[in-house]
Amino acid sequence: MKRFAELYAALDATSSTNAKIEAMAAYFEAAPHDDAAWALFFLMGGRLKRFISSRTLREWALDLTGLPDWLVDESYAAVGDTAETVALLLDAVERGEPTPLSLAGWMEQRILPLRMLDADVQRRTVQGWWRTFDREERFVLNKLLTGGLRVGVARGLVVRAIARIAGTDTAVIGHRLMGRWQPTAEAYSALLAGDDGDADVSRPYPFFLASPLEGPPETLGTVEGWLCEWKWDGIRGQLVKRAGAVYLWSRGEDLVTGRFPEIEHAGGALADGTVLDGEILAWGEVGVLPFAALQKRIGRLKLTAKILADAPVRFLAYDLLEEDGEDLRRLPQRERRQRLERILANVPAALTVSPLVEAADWEELAEHRARARASGVEGLMLKRATGTYQVGRRRGDWWKWKIDPLTVDAVLIYAQAGSGRRANLFTDYTFAVWDGDRLVPFAKAYSGLDDGEIAELDRWVRRHTIERFGPVRSVPAEQVFELAFEGIQLSSRHKSGIAVRFPRILRWRRDKTAAMANTLGEVKSLLHT
C-alpha cells in the first residue's frame, strides 16, 4: 500500500508527461504482479463501490481525534475534500506499528471484506488502520473507502508505461486492456506475456481520437488528400462480431449492446471477425435526431415498445478495424473505407455507412460546414486518406473541424471547490441569466480559466461569500463571463427551462456589468439557430 500511495503522490505532484511515465514504469518494474494488477486497475480509472460515506468518515475521525466540529468544518473549508481533510487531521493521533501488507493484500484481505462487517466493527477496524498509516497512505485509503479514488493520469500514459516494461507496442497493450480486464496477477502476467489464443472475443480496439483543427484547413494541403465526413453528435462506439455473437461498446468501455437491440440485430448480418468504429445516433424519418432523443434510451432500465418507437437508433460506421479476424488498423484510411462500404452494402438499415462529404476545394467544404448546425451535426471530420488508425489522440491524421460554439454572457452566482489538485480552490461555477428582474440559474462550467484567473476568482469568492450551502457558496451578482456551448434544448428538469451541452468559460468579461448579461429570452432564441 505504501508504494502505491507514494506513486499516487508522485503522479499528483507533476504535470510532466515523461515524469508520470517514469514514475509508473518504475513502480510496475518493481511491484509483484498482484500489486501491479490492482495499481493498474486504479490507474486505468477503475473504482470500487463506496464502502463508507464521507459523512461517516468524518464522524469516525472526530471520534478518534476528539477534535471539535468547528475545527473540522474550518479545515474542510480550506481543503475542500473530506478524504484529505481527515488524512491531515489524523496527524494528531499517535501512530502505531505499521502493518507490512502489500496493495493486493490490503485490497483482498482487508478492504473488500470490510463490506461484510457491521457498522461498529467497520468503525473500529478503519480507525485501527488509520493508526498504522502515514498521511499519504491514509489519504489513499480514505479515497478507496469512499469510492472517490481518481488518479490524475491519462490512459495513454499508463499504456505507454506498461508497453515500456513489456517491451511491446503501445497499440498491442492498449488493445489488451480494452474490455473486461480484471485486477488479478494472472491477468497482469498475460498482459505482459501476450495473448495465448483465448482472449476475450468481445474485446474492442483502443479508440483513435481526433484533435481540434486550430488553423485554416488549407494548411493541411489539398482537399483531395482527405476524406471528409460529418461530425455526428451521438455516442462513439465499436461494433464487434466474433464467434457468432455481437457486442456493442461505448468509448467509455461500457458494454451497451442490450440498450440498442436494433443495432445488435443488424450486426448479426456481419461475418465473424468484423469490428466497426462509428457513432450510435437517434435516427428518424428525416434523418439524425437531437442527442436528447438518444438520452431517452440511455437512461431507461427497461426498453418499452414506446421508447423504441420514439427514439429509433442507427449505427453509422465510419471505419473498419477488423475483417475476417485480421487487424486492419495499419492499412491506409482510404482502403479501410473502401472495404467498409463493401461489407455494409447489404445489411439492415440500422447499420449504415457514414456518408462522405464531397467538395472540390476547402472553400466549398467550408460552405458545407456552415450548414452543419441546421443539419443536426457538430461540424466536419477530416481524415488523411493515407493515414493509419492509431491509438488515443495522436495529432496529424484525424482532425475535427467543428462549427463555432453558441455563446452567452452570464453572471456568476455560486461557486464550489474542485477536486484532486484543485480541491482547495473554487473552480466549479454556476451561472445565471436575466428573466425579467431576477437571475435564473442557466449552466454550470468547470473549465476555461487559466491558473492565474482561477486563483484570482478564488480569492474574490472567499472575500465576497454571502451564504454557504454545504460546499457551495453564493456570491454577489457582479462577475460576468462569456460561456460557450455546443447545443441547446428545452428541458423541464432545469429552472431556466433549457439545457446546454458541454458548457465552458470562454473569457472573463471584466468590461461588462451584471446588468449587461444576456436574458433568458435571448438564450431561448438560440434554439432556432
Whether 383 and 468 share a structural domain: no
* Total of domains in the chain: 3
Residue 196 within a domain: no
Q: What is the DSSP secondary-structure string of 171-231?
A: HHHHHHTSSS---SHHHHHHHHH---S---TT--PPPB--EE--S-GGGG--GGGEEEEE-
Whether 243 and 387 share a structural domain: yes
Q: Which of 371, 402, 433 is the last residue of a domain?
A: 402
Q: In what order do the strands lie in the sheet containing 379-384? A: 211-212, 398-402, 379-384, 226-230
Measuring CA to CA, which residue among 493, 489, 497 is closest to residue 526? 489
Q: Which of 357, 380, 402 is the last residue of a domain?
A: 402
Residue 151 within a domain: no
Q: Is the pLDDT of residue 198 over 60?
A: no
Whether 396 and 430 share a structural domain: no
* Residue in the structure block whose three cell numbers are 494541403: 221
Helical pair 135-145 and 2-12, crossing angle rounded to 10 deg: 90
Catalytic residue (one of 2, 20, 49, 231) = 231
Residue 191 within a domain: no
Confidence of residue 268 (pLDDT cuts 50, 70, 90): very high
Distance (Å, whole) CA 519 – CA 217: 35
Whether 287 and 216 share a structural domain: yes
Across the range 3-15, mean pLDDT stands at 87
Task: Find the helix or strand (DSSP H, E) in which 131 lies.
Answer: helix 119-132
Whether 251 and 390 share a structural domain: yes
Whether 222 and 280 share a structural domain: yes
Interval 300-351: pLDDT, tens = 667 788 888 888 899 999 999 999 999 999 999 999 999 999 999 989 989 9
Cβ burial 294-310 (10 Å sphere, 16+ → b, else e): bebbeeeeeeeeeeeee
Interval 280-294: pLDDT, tens = 999 988 888 888 788
For residue 62, what is the domain's CATH number?
A: 1.10.3260.10
For residue 411, what is the domain's CATH number?
A: 2.40.50.140
Pick 283 or 13 by higher pLDDT. Answer: 283
Distance (Å, whole) CA 431 – CA 448: 14
Mean pLDDT of the chain: 88
Residue 200 within a domain: no
Neighbour-count burial of 64, counting CB atoms closer than 10 A to its CB (0-12 exposed, 13-18 middle, 19+ buried)? buried
Length of the chain: 529
Across the range 40-60, mean pLDDT stands at 87
Confidence of residue 363 (pLDDT cuts 50, 70, 90): very high
Whether 270 and 354 share a structural domain: yes
Decide if 428 contacts 447 (C-beta within 8 A): no
Q: What is the pLDDT of residue 31?
A: 92
Q: What is the pLDDT of residue 182?
A: 84
Q: Which domain holds residue 488?
A: 406-528
Whether 387 and 422 share a structural domain: no
Q: Which of 145, 179, 203 is the last residue of a domain?
A: 145
- 3-state SS class at 470: coil
Pick 76 or 434 by higher pLDDT. Answer: 434
Decide if 93 contacts 25 (C-beta within 8 A): no
Q: What is the pLDDT of residue 197?
A: 47
Q: Is the pLDDT of residue 41 over 50?
A: yes
Q: Is the pLDDT of residue 164 over 80?
A: yes
Decide if 369 contacts 403 (C-beta within 8 A): yes
Confidence of residue 40 (pLDDT cuts 50, 70, 90): very high
Q: What is the pLDDT of residue 285?
A: 83
Q: What is the pLDDT of residue 425?
A: 84
Q: What is the pLDDT of residue 287?
A: 87
In this structure, what C-alpha cell is assigned to residue 498?
Answer: 433549457
Interval 212-235: pLDDT, tens = 998 899 999 999 999 999 999 899
Q: What is the DSSP secondary-structure string of 362-400?
A: HHHHHHHHHTTGGGT--EEEEEETT----SBS-TTSEEE
Whether 292 and 387 share a structural domain: yes
Q: Is the pLDDT of residue 492 over 90?
A: no
Residue 486 within a domain: yes
Pick 151 or 8 by higher pLDDT. Answer: 8
Is the model's pTM score more than 0.85? Answer: no
Q: Are strands 287-288 and 313-323 parallel, antiparallel or unpaired?
A: unpaired
Whether 419 and 341 share a structural domain: no
**Partners of 384 in the β-ladder:** 226
Percentage of the chain surpassing pLDDT 70? 96
Q: What is the pLDDT of residue 376?
A: 85
Residue 215 within a domain: yes
Measuring CA to CA, which residue among 242, 243, 181 is closest to residue 206? 181
Distance (Å, whole) CA 497 – CA 141: 42
- The most confident of the ranges 197-211, 249-263, 349-363 is 349-363
Neighbour-count burial of 454, counting CB atoms closer than 10 A to its CB (0-12 exposed, 13-18 middle, 19+ buried)? middle
List of residues 6+ apart from 232 with CB closer than 8 A = 279, 281, 288, 316, 354, 377, 378
Decide if 494 contacts 444 (C-beta within 8 A): no
Within 10 Å of residue 332's Cβ, how many Cβ atoms? 15
Whether 39 and 75 share a structural domain: yes
Q: What is the pLDDT of residue 374?
A: 82
Distance (Å, whole) CA 188 – CA 182: 9
Within 10 Å of residue 465's Cβ, how many Cβ atoms? 15
- The most confident of the ranges 71-75, 201-205, 309-313, 384-388 is 384-388
Confidence of residue 166 (pLDDT cuts 50, 70, 90): confident
Residue 206 within a domain: no
In this structure, what C-alpha cell is assigned to residue 50?
Answer: 463506496
Residue 179 within a domain: no
Interval 68-95: pLDDT, tens = 888 888 887 777 678 888 889 898 888 8
The question of whether 306 is a catalytic residue gets the answer no
List of residues 6+ apart from 472 with CB closer than 8 A = 414, 415, 416
Distance (Å, whole) CA 505 – CA 511: 16
Q: Is the pLDDT of residue 422 over 80?
A: no
Whether 123 and 221 share a structural domain: no
* Residue in the structure block whose three cell numbers are 476555461: 448
In this structure, what C-alpha cell is assigned to residue 242?
Answer: 466474433
Q: Is the pLDDT of residue 196 over 60?
A: no
For residue 284, what is the domain's CATH number?
A: 3.30.470.30
